[in-house]
Structure 1
Amino acid sequence: MIHCEGLVKIYKSADLEVVALQGLDLQVEEGELMAIIGNSGSGKSTLLNMLGGLDKPSAGKLLVDGKDLLAFRERELVVYKRETVGFVWQNNARNLLPYLTAVENVELPILLRGKRRRERALELLEAVGLSSRAGRRLSELSGGEQQRVAIAIALANRPRLLLADEPTGSLDTATTHQVLDLFRSLNRTLGITIVIVTHDPLLARQVDRVVGIRDGKTSTELIRRTSSTEEPDGRNQPDAQPDSETHTEYTVLDRAGRLQIPAGYLEAPGFKGGSRVRVELVNGQIVLSPPDTESPDG
């Protein structure tokens, strides 16, 4: 569904240049439910805007649903945003019109297609569990209910890709779980690909895969496995509990052979950012060690 290769984004203002993405690589399979996490300034929102056709990369390759977004003209981008992708924002002011009811908000994007708009809007509200609240204005809905209306709006154009930018950032813990449960349900029942951008690493427990972005590059991945009794190569873990959930963390090696070491690892004795590191191939494994450490084989 998504193929990013060597993605670069540079913002220019007068004599100032800000590099938001520095050769980012990313693959997202069709029908996947995944999250992109990172601190402020890591480039995650920039990536989301480019996936949604709201911004263009400075260099690299960006394919979504087989479409080359770098080759799009303005009219093609409008069609892409109308037919391929749906957006859910953290700020409900970007999703909803406060003087309309829930069903009227959902009807609005359906006007572009012009058919069965009330019937379709009611179907969508039922899909997000709000059929009984269709006639209520936004002031009569809770924050979680408003976000559900926003999700219904994002689904109005039957998108193949749903992008959510901090969709639970303004919600309490209980409501956050409800919204994430809804994303999982929609992913399974509709088969829609969902990409959630967040700064909360605990979201990893709610999705199948988490990609970490640091300094404009893909740095780590967390893969959830519902059965922890097997390793990725098929070997059994003797101490693991069957049918339990676990996450395996991977560091991403880019096409140039570069990788980012998780920040916590740099606290080990002899390691620090900007220092030299000994790299050796030992028994088929790549071993990193401080420059004054002897080789692990003796």
Structure 2
Amino acid sequence: MIVCEDLVKIYKSADLEVFALQGLDLTVAEGELMAIIGNSGSGKSTLLNMLGGLDKPSAGKLFVNGIDLLKCSGKDLIRYKRETVGFVWQNNARNLIPYLTALQNIELPMLLKGRRKRLRALDLLEAVGLSHRAHNKLTQLSGGEQQRVAIAIALANEPRLLLADEPTGSVDSRMAEQILDLFRQINRDFGVTVVIVTHDPQLARKVDRVVAIRDGKTSSEIIRKVSYADELAAIQSETAADAENTHEEYAVLDRAGRLQLPEAYVEELGLRKSNKVLVKMEEGSIRLLPPEEE
């Protein structure tokens, strides 16, 4: 569904150049449920904007559903945003039009595409658990309900890819759990590929793969090794050790053979004192050691 190769994004302002992405590689399979995490300024929101057709890379390759986003004309990009991708913003003011009802908000993308499907809009409201709120306006909905309507809007035109930018950032922890469960349900029921950008590493509990971005590159991947159903069973049976050991973290080796070391390892080995590290092959394993002192 998504192929990023050596993706670079440079923002220029007067004589200043800022590298938001520095040769990022990423592949996302069709139907996958995954998250992208990283600290502020790591480049994760820049990547999401490019996947959504809101910004273009400075260099590299970016394909979504077979579409080359670097070569899209303006008209093709509009079609891409209407038909291929759905977007859920953290700020509900960007998701909803306040003077329209929940049902009318969901119908609007369909009207922009030249069709109106009242039954589909009602089905989407039911899918997000808000069929009883169809005729309520923005001021009559809670923050969590507004976010659920936003997810239904993003699904209105049957996109192949659903993007969510910090979708739980403006709700409490209980509602955040419900929204993440809803993304998993949508991924399963609609077969849509879901990419969630967040700063919360706890999202790994809800998704199948987490890609960490650091300094504009993918630094590690956390991959589920226990099915979500088995994890829930472990939690319900109170086997805490089993419930916690559900994912495995991997460092990412880029095309040039480079990898980023986890921050905790760098600190523990005292590698900040130098920009060098000893690399040794021992019995089929690679060992990384601090430089030998003079």
TM-score by length of 1: 0.91
Classify 1:285/1:70 alpha carbon distance in 2 versus 1 (closer, same or farther; 3 Å): same
**In the alignment, which residue of structure 2 is the partner of 1:12?**
12
Contact 1:227 1:243 in 2 (8 A): no
More helix by share: 2
CA distance in 2, matches of 1:199, 1:227: 23
CA distance in 2, matches of 1:95, 1:163: 13
CA distance in 1, matches of 2:41, 2:114: 40
CA distance in 2, matches of 1:174, 1:6: 38
- 2:23 is matched by which residue type in structure 1? G
What is the CA deviation profile of residues 131-187 of structure 1, one whole-angstrom value per residue up to 9, with x for unaligned ones? 111011111111110000000000001000000000000110000001000000000
**In the alignment, which residue of structure 1 is the partner of 2:248?**
248
Moved over 4 A (4+): 240-245
Q: Which runs of 5+ in 1 are unaligned?
A: 229-239, 294-298
**In the alignment, which residue of structure 2 is the partner of 1:260?**
260
- Match status 1:71 vs 2:66: no
Contact 1:222 1:250 in 2 (8 A): yes
**In the alignment, which residue of structure 2 is the partner of 1:199?**
199
CA distance in 2, matches of 1:167, 1:51: 16
**In the alignment, which residue of structure 2 is the partner of 1:237?**
none
What is the CA deviation profile of residues 237-270 of structure 1, one whole-angstrom value per residue up to 9, with x for unaligned ones? xxx9778751111110100111111111112144
Contact 2:24 2:216 in 1 (8 A): yes
**In the alignment, which residue of structure 2 is the partner of 1:211?**
211
- 2:248 is matched by which residue type in structure 1? T
**In the alignment, which residue of structure 2 is the partner of 1:26?**
26
**In the TM superposition, what is the alpha-carbon distance from 1:274 to its structure 2 partner?**
4.7
- Counterpart of 2:19 in 1: which secondary structure? strand
- 1:54 is matched by which residue type in structure 2? L
- 2:183 is matched by which residue type in structure 1? F
**Residues 52-71 of structure 1 correspond to what in structure 2 (within 5 A)?**
52-71=52-71
CA distance in 1, matches of 2:46, 2:75: 22
**In the TM superposition, what is the alpha-carbon distance from 1:207 to its structure 2 partner?**
0.6
CA distance in 2, matches of 1:2, 1:180: 21
CA distance in 1, matches of 2:227, 2:45: 32
**In the alignment, which residue of structure 1 is the partner of 2:92?**
92
CA distance in 1, matches of 2:93, 2:243: 42
Contact 1:227 1:242 in 2 (8 A): no
**In the alignment, which residue of structure 1 is the partner of 2:162?**
162
What is the root-mean-square deviation of aligned Cα atoms in Å?
Answer: 1.8
TM-score by length of 2: 0.92
Contact 2:107 2:116 in 1 (8 A): no
**In the alignment, which residue of structure 1 is the partner of 2:234?**
none
**In the TM superposition, what is the alpha-carbon distance from 1:227 to its structure 2 partner?**
6.1
**In the alignment, which residue of structure 1 is the partner of 2:232?**
none
Classify 1:245/1:155 alpha carbon distance in 2 versus 1 (closer, same or farther; 3 Å): farther
CA distance in 2, matches of 1:119, 1:137: 19
CA distance in 2, matches of 1:95, 1:38: 23
- Counterpart of 2:271 in 1: which secondary structure? coil
CA distance in 2, matches of 1:274, 1:4: 32
- Counterpart of 1:167 in 2: which secondary structure? coil
**In the alignment, which residue of structure 2 is the partner of 1:136?**
136
Q: Which runs of 5+ in 2 are unaligned?
A: 229-239
What is the CA deviation profile of residues 166-213 of structure 1, one whole-angstrom value per residue up to 9, with x for unaligned ones? 000011000000100000000011110000000111111111110000
CA distance in 2, matches of 1:153, 1:100: 13
Classify 1:13/1:243 alpha carbon distance in 2 versus 1 (closer, same or farther; 3 Å): closer
| Matched positions, count | 282
